[in-house]
Amino acid sequence: MAKTHSMPPDFEQSLQALAVLVEALESDTLSLEQALEQFEHGIQLVRHCQAVLGDAEQRVEQVLADGTLQDVSLED
């Protein structure tokens, strides 16, 4: 069973964590089990980033539509 990883608190840190993870996977120094765990964590990071980007896109669309910005948090 894969370990549960916590998500970095913001988008930029999530992207940085993803870059470090990809570098580790490309290094060929991880065991198969470690590589699978890192891959699973990478998928979680990608989904987190996609959700944050989706929220940001909705905020931009709202501003463009009516010129207002409601209090919508980008954090989970």
| pLDDT at position 2 over 60 | no
| pLDDT at position 61 over 50 | yes
What is the pLDDT at residue 64?
A: 85
What is the pLDDT at residue 35?
A: 96
Output the six-digit token pair for 33: 């089990």
pLDDT in tens, 13-50: 999 999 999 999 999 899 999 999 999 999 999 999 99
What is the pLDDT at residue 4?
A: 63
Give the domain 11-65 fold: Helix Hairpins (1.10.287)
Per the model's pLDDT, the better-predicted residue between 64 and 72 turns out to be: 64
Distance CA 41, CA 36 (A): 9
